Each structure stands twice: as C-alpha cells, then as structure tokens.
C-alpha cells in the first residue's frame, strides 16, 4: 500500500490529549519506520492507549499532529483507517460468534472480500496459526476458546485487510509464556515483511524484542531508544548479580556506598549497578566486612527492567537526567 | 443494501438468535400478554347485583332504573346499611347507579344529565363486562329520550342535538381494565417500543461496553452504515412480532384490523423510524447497558404503559400530564392504531397524529445522527 515509501510509517508530533483538566498525553513525539517493532511502555495510566487511540483516529488530539502511513490522521481519518490494523487492549471480538463469523464480520467491514486474491480469512488464519485444523470444530463459540487462541484470533481480525501499520495494545496480556512467545514470532513476521508495528506491553522481557522502546510516565516520554542503548546509558559501569547468606544487611551496605548506583532485590538475588571504573573485588571486600556471609558474585547483563526501574526512581517526573544526554534518544526527538 | 450494512445486520441477527432470552422476550411475551388478557375478558356475566340510588325521584329517573333491570342482566341489590360506594365495599352490590337530583329537569331542558355509575373492579373480568353492559344500556336509553325530545320540540326549530345523557362510568379498585380489542393496539405499540427503542439502545451500548465499538470505528465503516446495520434487524423483529400479535388477535379473538393494512404498514414504518432514532439517541447518552436500559425504559416503556393510553385513557388525565403525553411518539402512534385497527377510520381522522409522528421522526433522526457522529469523532 501507499505511504510506506521512505518516510516513517507512524509519526507522532507533540501529541496532547486532555480529559477535562487532566492531561493524559502531554506532548508525545516519536516515529516508527516501516519494518520496525516499536514498544510503548509505561505504568498503568501512563497514557499509552490514549496515544494509540489518537494515532488510529479514534480520538481527536488537543494538540500536535499524527501521520500514519503517510496520511495526516486529522485530515483524512478514513484514509488512515483502511491502512491500519488495531488490536485494542480489551478483547473485543464477539464471544457469541464463532471465530470464522467474527472474521467474516470484520472482513466485510473492510470490504476485504472483494477484489483481492484468494480468501483473506483463510490467509489471515494461516498467518496467525489458526488454520492448523487439528480439533478446532467450526461450531465452537469464541468465548469458549483459550485466551491464547482468542488473542491470535483478534490479531487475525486486525490483519484481514493486509495493513502496513499495526497497533497492538497489550496483545499478550493474560496469556501464558508459550503463547506469548508464539505471538511475538508472529509480530516479528509482520515486521520482516515490512509492516510497522507499535506494541504496548507490561512484560519488559518482551520489550527486549522491540527494535526500539519508549517509556512513558504521566503522559510524557521519559526514555527512548534501542533496548541495548538504553541499558548501556543507564548502566555505564558493570552490573553484578550477588547471591549471599543474608540479603538484608548486604543490600544496606551496598546502598550506603556512593559508587553503587543501584541495588535491588531480584528474587533471592541482588542486582547491583556500579559506577564506571569499579569492579567486583570492591564488592566482595565490602560484603565480607558487612558480615553478609559467603557471597557469590558474577557479572550480568542488565535487563530492561533494571534500566526502567532506575529511570523511574531517578527521574522525578520531568526529564531523564543521565540517560537523556547519553547515546539514547536515538529514534525519539 | 451494501455489503457492510448487510454484514452488521447479519451479525446482529446472530446475536439475537443466540440469546434465547431476548428472542423469547421479543416474540413470546407479547403473545403471552395477549392470550392472558384476551381469555380473561371473554367471559359473560349475569344477574349482577345493582344498587340504584335515585336522588331525583321523578318518572324519568325511575324509567332509567327500570331499563337496567328489564333485561335480566342486573338484579336489585339486597337492601342494607350504607348506600353508594360502600355497597361495593361490603360486596352487596357489584355496581351502583346514582341518579343525581335535577336529572329530569336537565333532561327537560335538553342539557346533558350526569349519571354516576360505579363498578366494583376487584374482579377485573366481571367489572369489564359489567361496565360494557352499562355503557350499552345508557346509550339505548339516551337514544329513546332523544327521540322523545325531538317529538316534543317539533320539527320546526329542531332543538339542541347531541348527547342528552352524560354517563360517566367510573371503575374503582382496578383501573387497568381494557377489553381485548383495546389491548391489541397497545400491545403492538409496546412490542415496537421494546424492540425498536430498548433493544436498539442496548445493542449499541453493548458494543461500547465490550469494546467492539472501537474495533468497528477503526474500520472504514460510515456512521449511517453502522446505524442502519444495527437498527434494521430490530425493526424487522419488531414488525414480525407485531404481525404475530395482530394475527393471533384475529385468529383467536376475532379482532380484525378494521382499516387498511397498507395504512397500518406505513404508519408503523413511521413509528419505527422515530423509535429507532430514539434508540440510537439514547445509546449516545449511555456508556453502560444498565444506564441505557434505565433511560430507554424511562423515556419509552413507562410512558407507553402509563401515559399514552395503553392502560389509562389519556382523556381522563389531568391537563399537565395530558400535555406530557404529547412528548412521546407512542401517544401519536396509539391514536393512529386505534383509528386504523379498531375503527377503520379513513386517513383524515389520523392525519394529525401521523404528521406529528413524522415530525418527531425527523427530529429524532437529526438529533441521533448529530450526536452519533460527534461521539464517533470525539471522546472515547
Ligand atoms: N475517555 C477518558 N476520559 C477520561 N479519562 C480517561 C479517558 N481515557 C483515559 N483516561 C485517563 O487517561 C489516563 C491514561 O489512560 P491510558 O488508558 O492511555 O493509560 P495506559 O497507559 O494505556 O494504561 P494501561 O497500562 O492501564 O492500559 C488514565 O489516567 C485514564 O484514567
Ligand atoms: Mg492501555
């Protein structure tokens, strides 16, 4: 379809949305080129869904501009609608229809039946792994199917008209890890074919798969960049994983040291981020002195979760101090 | 019809067919009401104890009382303490006829002569029939008097024409007495209101509630396509249901549509248009089905029952309420229905309410489309 050309498939420029006196989205800008997976992250109420709604033309922005598939959303919302696929945060297919009836319904809304080659429903079902025949009787109502199956069905219904831009709002919420993995394989597939995918999620392990992530907080972007860059910007020194007899005193001792930038408990272990130039030997001697018992220390890769926890705790609300001036900020303005 | 409208309508039919509760309510309930009311009122009654309170004591008043007992339908009530309505309370009489003082004098002057009739309505079936007998008797007696009057006045000046007897049967204890004939138009209106207004509002709000509305709105579907696709199935269900009730009324109770079926069809179409638009309008005011149900019943169902003459005749209501009934399209539709179904009256008798209904439909459609498009492009 048109519009993908060279420009970004999704372009948000200073988007603002207010509900009464409350500003849900406050000057959000980013762009997503074709073929990329863009992760929009943030706590509940950060404004992710609101931003997506504006990009889809469901909600008129109070400020800023949105261009999707090369089309100005405010000027030609109908043109945008026929080029995007949207999977809303809430599962919103009809439980009292069968999967096929659901797909037929949405297919007719897009006129996807006529003109194109082949059966768009069969293609979408195949694409999302729903046509694998084994034991899926035709008559089963959608509400009686598993959550994982329903998510893939919702995706199938969103891609019936072969959109070049996909908005997936928490597509993997409430789905088991295997089904999540499968779902992400599908997302990869779309991106490889050149579609731009904007996805939101609360699972930060998933966010690692994105080409680029953006963290929103209270309607604003507080961090953005490739997952690897973000992590390096947050943790210029090394990150250690520490296993020791008594976690409590060890954590206290670590947090007292100025060269320990961050110390947090992950399960039974402690993750400690050190300032550049400091090594694990300093930590082992510190822990030995603090009486935390025998400590096993090894270097580890920081996770996006580490990075975001640090960002959220270190930034007030406004700007992203260190990370903003670092090699991040790549894709976002 | 274009493909999108058809797709939306087909989906809507599936929802209706897969929810036996709603289908049962839409088709079964009206039929049940018809059978219940219909069979309950088709019983005959004899030897009704009637107490006559003749306060006039003139030959004319005695003639009226005798006319009541002549046919054998009524027998004099046992004498006992307490006259008037207390005779009904003790059960001595099933009806009381009160002839006020000055009855004969008024008749002599050719003025309307009020006669009060009270009927014990605690047994609805019986009361219905008794009220019918009294009505008939008074009409006949009034007819005789009128003939007498004309003779006495002579052919020269003609005398004042019109009703000489002004009879006001008053039903106590149970006021929702209607015969099956009067019930049919009310039922038809009720069915259409439920399907066209309540079901439509609920069906649209249900989509908002479960989020599928958003999924529809990101597709290139137009507002009009969406509205038509959502409402036409309910119009069809309502029309079928109304036809079933009319058919059953004709088959079981011999209540035939006196007027033209064509006239019935187009006026019903007009009413459906107004109702569907009202349903869509309500759907734009509510975000949950509970709220939608509340608004739609407040705005349509309850007025249909209480205000538009379905249960209580409009002419017996206080002026303020009578004016309020003008706000609901059902009032106009009921007037039209009574004219067509019961009286078989020609168009000029229901042209007024039909015009009002057309106006109402146009306004409702305009309001609904404005609100719907605004909601579609703005918040949510
Ligand atoms: N239609 C609305 N009217 C009023 N406030 C709204 C509306 N929609 C969203 N909000 C508010 O805007 C804020 C952002 O909501 P949004 O749904 O965009 O957050 P989110 O980042 O998607 O959160 P979640 O992770 O919970 O989905 C929230 O505080 C929410 O209550
Ligand atoms: Mg959300």
How far is ligand 1, taken at its centre, from the CA of residue B256, in Å? 58
User: Is residue A321 a part of any domain in this protein?
Assistant: no
**Nearest atom (ligand 1) to Cα of A89:** 27
Under an 8 A CB cutoff, do A96 and B18 touch? yes
Give the A:B interface size as CB pairs under 8 Å.
73
Residues pairing with B87 in the sheet: none
Residue of A nearest to B207 (CA): A92
Mutate to test the pocket of ligand 1, among B209, B213, B378, B380 (most ligand atoms within 8 A of CB): B380
Q: Which domain holds residue A271?
A: 236-301
Under an 8 A CB cutoff, do B15 and A94 touch? yes
Q: Which two tokens stand for residue B208?
A: 């908002």
Same domain, A154 and A53: yes
In this complex, the residue of A92, A94, A108 whose CB is nearest that of residue B214 is: A92
Distances, alpha carbon A187 to alpha carbons A73, A87, A167, B76, B125, in Å: 24, 12, 11, 91, 71
Dump pLDDT digits (tens) for B32-48.
Answer: 877 876 676 544 566 78
Q: Which two tokens stand for residue A250?
A: 């060890």
Mean pLDDT taken over chain A: 84
User: Is residue A324 a part of any domain in this protein?
Assistant: no
Same domain, A146 and A265: no
Mean pLDDT of B10-18: 92
Q: Which ligand is nearest to the CA of A44?
A: 1
Same domain, A128 and A221: yes
The interface predicted TM-score of the complex, written ipTM, equals 0.80
Same domain, A63 and A185: yes
A210-242 burial string, b = 16+ CB within 10 Å, else e? bbbbbbbbbbbbbbbbbbebbbbbbbebbbbeb
Tokens 């909600």 belong to which residue? Answer: A59
* Percent of residues, chain A, with pLDDT higher than 70: 88
CATH 3.40.1710.10 boundaries in chain B: 48-172
Dump pLDDT digits (tens) for B197-241.
Answer: 888 899 999 999 988 999 999 999 888 888 889 999 998 988 888
Under an 8 A CB cutoff, do A96 and B8 touch? no
Same domain, A243 and A275: yes
Task: pLDDT band for B112, please (50, 70, 90 cuts).
Answer: low
pLDDT, position A6: 62
Lowest-confidence range among B53-67, B173-187, B337-351? Answer: B173-187
Q: How far apart are CA A69 and CA A164, in angstroms?
A: 7
Which of A105, A141, A159, A168 to substitute to test the interface with B, most B CBs within 10 Å?
A105
Look at A214 and A261; give whichever has higher pLDDT.
A214
Q: In this structure, what CATH number is given to the domain that contains residue A274?
A: 3.30.70.100
CA B349 remoteness from chain centre: 17
Would you say domain B48-172 falls under CATH 3.40.50.1860? no
User: Which A residues in the span 29-68 are in contact with B, Cβ-Cβ below 8 Å?
Assistant: 53, 56-60
Q: How far apart are CA B260 and CA B265, in angstroms?
A: 9
Under an 8 A CB cutoff, do A111 and B3 touch? yes
Q: Is the pLDDT of residue A102 over 80?
A: yes
Residue of A nearest to B211 (CA): A92
Q: Is the pLDDT of residue B172 over 50?
A: no
Task: Tell me whether A317 touches chain B (CB under 8 Å).
Answer: no
- According to DSSP, residue A275 is labeled P
Same domain, A20 and A99: yes
User: Is residue A333 a part of any domain in this protein?
Assistant: no
In this complex, the residue of A60, A88, A97 whose CB is nearest that of residue B215 is: A88
Distance, in angstroms, between B212 CA and closest chain A CA?
Answer: 5
Same domain, A209 and A289: no
Same domain, A210 and A260: no
Q: In this structure, what CATH number is given to the domain that contains residue A132?
A: 3.40.50.300
Same domain, A71 and A131: yes
User: Is residue A57 a part of any domain in this protein?
Assistant: yes
Same domain, A73 and A148: yes
pLDDT, position A116: 54
Mutate to test the pocket of ligand 1, among A45, A53, A86, A217 (most ligand atoms within 8 A of CB): A45
Q: Which of A229, A257, A292 is the last residue of a domain?
A: A229
Q: Which residues contact A162 (CB under 8 A, 6 or more apart)?
A: A1, A116, A120
Q: Is the pLDDT of residue A156 over 90?
A: yes
Q: Which chain B residues are within 8 Å of A93, Cβ to Cβ?
A: 212, 215
Dump pLDDT digits (tens) for A297-319.
Answer: 888 888 888 888 888 777 643 33
- According to DSSP, residue B98 is labeled E
Distance, in angstroms, between B23 CA and closest chain A CA?
Answer: 15
Under an 8 A CB cutoff, do B11 and A105 touch? yes
Q: How far apart are CA A240 and CA A238, in angstroms?
A: 7
């Amino acid at each position: 379809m048109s519009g993908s050309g060279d420009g970004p498939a999704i372009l948000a420029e200073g988007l603002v949305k207010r509900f009464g006196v409350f500003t849900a989205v406050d000057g959000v800008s980013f762009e997503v080129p074709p073929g990329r997976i863009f992760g929009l992250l943030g706590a509940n109420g950060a404004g992710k869904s609101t931003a997506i709604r504006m990009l889809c033309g469901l909600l008129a922005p109070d400020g800023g501009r949105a261009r999707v598939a090369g089309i100005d959303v405010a000027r030609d919302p109908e043109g945008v609608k026929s080029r995007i696929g949207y999977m809303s945060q809430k599962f919103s297919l009809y439980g009292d229809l069968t999967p096929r009836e659901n797909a037929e319904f949405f297919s007719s809304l897009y006129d996807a039946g006529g003109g194109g080659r082949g059966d768009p429903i069969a293609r979408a079902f195949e694409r999302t792994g729903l046509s694998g025949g084994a034991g899926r009787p035709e008559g089963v109502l959608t509400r009686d199917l598993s959550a994982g199956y329903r998510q893939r069905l919702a995706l199938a219904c969103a891609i019936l008209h072969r959109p070049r831009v996909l908005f997936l709002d928490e597509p993997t919420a409430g789905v088991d890890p295997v089904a999540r993995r499968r779902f992400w394989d599908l997302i990869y597939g779309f991106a490889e074919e050149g579609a731009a995918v904007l996805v939101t999620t609360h699972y930060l392990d998933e966010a690692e798969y994105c080409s680029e992530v953006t963290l929103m907080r209270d309607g604003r972007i507080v961090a953005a960049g490739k997952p690897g860059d973000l992590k390096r910007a947050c943790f210029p020194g090394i990150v250690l994983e520490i296993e020791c007899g008594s976690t409590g005193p060890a954590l206290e001792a670590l947090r007292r040291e100025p060269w320990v930038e961050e110390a947090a408990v992950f399960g039974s272990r402690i993750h400690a981020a050190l300032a550049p130039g400091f090594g694990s030997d300093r930590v082992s001697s510190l822990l030995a002195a603090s009486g935390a018992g025998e400590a096993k220390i090894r270097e580890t890769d920081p996770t996006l979760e580490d990075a975001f926890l640090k960002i959220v705790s270190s930034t007030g609300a406004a700007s992203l101090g260190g990370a903003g001036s670092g090699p991040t900020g790549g894709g976002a303005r | 019809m274009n493909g999108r409208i058809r797709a939306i309508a087909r989906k809507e039919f599936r929802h209706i067919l897969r929810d036996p509760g709603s289908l049962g309510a839409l088709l079964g309930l009206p039929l049940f009401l018809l059978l219940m009311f219909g069979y309950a009122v088709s019983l005959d009654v004899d030897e009704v104890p009637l107490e006559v309170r003749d306060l006039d004591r003139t030959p004319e008043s005695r003639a009226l009382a005798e006319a009541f007992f002549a046919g054998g339908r009524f027998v004099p009530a046992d004498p006992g303490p307490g006259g008037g309505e207390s005779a009904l309370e003790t059960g001595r009489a099933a009806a009381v006829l009160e002839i006020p003082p000055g009855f004969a004098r008024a008749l002599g002057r050719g003025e309307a002569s009020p006669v009060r009739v009270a009927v014990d309505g605690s047994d609805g079936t019986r009361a219905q029939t008794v009220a019918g007998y009294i009505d008939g008797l008074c009409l006949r007696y009034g007819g005789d008097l009128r003939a007498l009057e004309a003779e006495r006045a002579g052919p020269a000046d003609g005398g004042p024409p019109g009703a000489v007897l002004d009879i006001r049967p008053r039903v106590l204890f149970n006021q929702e007495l209607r015969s099956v004939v009067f019930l049919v138009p009310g039922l038809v209106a009720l069915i259409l209101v439920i399907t066209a207004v309540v079901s439509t509002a609920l069906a649209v709000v249900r989509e908002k509630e479960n989020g599928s509305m958003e999924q529809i709105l990101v597709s290139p579907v137009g507002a009009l396509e969406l509205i038509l696709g959502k409402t036409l199935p309910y119009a069809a269900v309502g029309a079928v249901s109304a036809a079933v009730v009319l058919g059953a009324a004709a088959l079981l109770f011999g209540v035939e549509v006196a007027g033209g079926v064509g006239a019935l069809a187009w006026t019903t179409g007009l009413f459906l248009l107004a109702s569907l638009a009202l349903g869509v309008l309500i759907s734009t005011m509510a975000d949950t089905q509970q709220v939608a149900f509340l608004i739609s019943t407040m705005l349509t169902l309850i007025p249909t029952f209480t205000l538009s003459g379905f249960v209580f005749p409009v002419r017996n209501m206080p002026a303020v309420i009578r004016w309020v009934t003008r706000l609901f399209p059902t009032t106009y539709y009921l007037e039209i229905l009574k004219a067509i179904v019961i009286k078989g009256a020609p168009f000029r008798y229901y042209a007024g309410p039909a015009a009002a209904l057309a106006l109402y439909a146009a306004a409702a459609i305009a309001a609904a489309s404005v609100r719907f498009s605004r909601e579609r492009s703005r918040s949510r």
